[in-house]
Amino acid sequence: MTQQEALDLIKELLRAEDDEQLMQLVSLHLPSVDGTFFSTADAAVRRLEHDGKAGPANALRGLTDRMLRMKTLI
């Protein structure tokens, strides 16, 4: 996964309308998620925090933590 693909996926995940849609997206993309995705997501969380957007930062951090746990169970 490239950094741009990771950013595109992060944006798509953050735009999910509800938890069901979010989990569908996670399930669809989980096989392609790699270290680039997680490092890009971490940078995005830090940027959101820096910009004073604690809510989206916490949501993204929680989501990536959940995805990492799912990824390690595969």
**The predicted structure's pLDDT at residue 47:** 96
Q: What's the alpha-carbon Rg for the chain, to the nearest Å?
A: 12
**Residue ranges per domain, the chain?**
3-73
Please report the pLDDT score of residue 52 as a whole number.
97
H or E stretch at 43: helix 35-50
pTM of the model: 0.84
Q: Which residues contact 34 (CB under 8 A, 6 or more apart)?
A: 1
> Which token pair is 56?
């989206």
**Which tens digits make up the pLDDT trace of 1-43?**
999 999 999 999 989 999 899 889 999 999 999 999 999 999 9
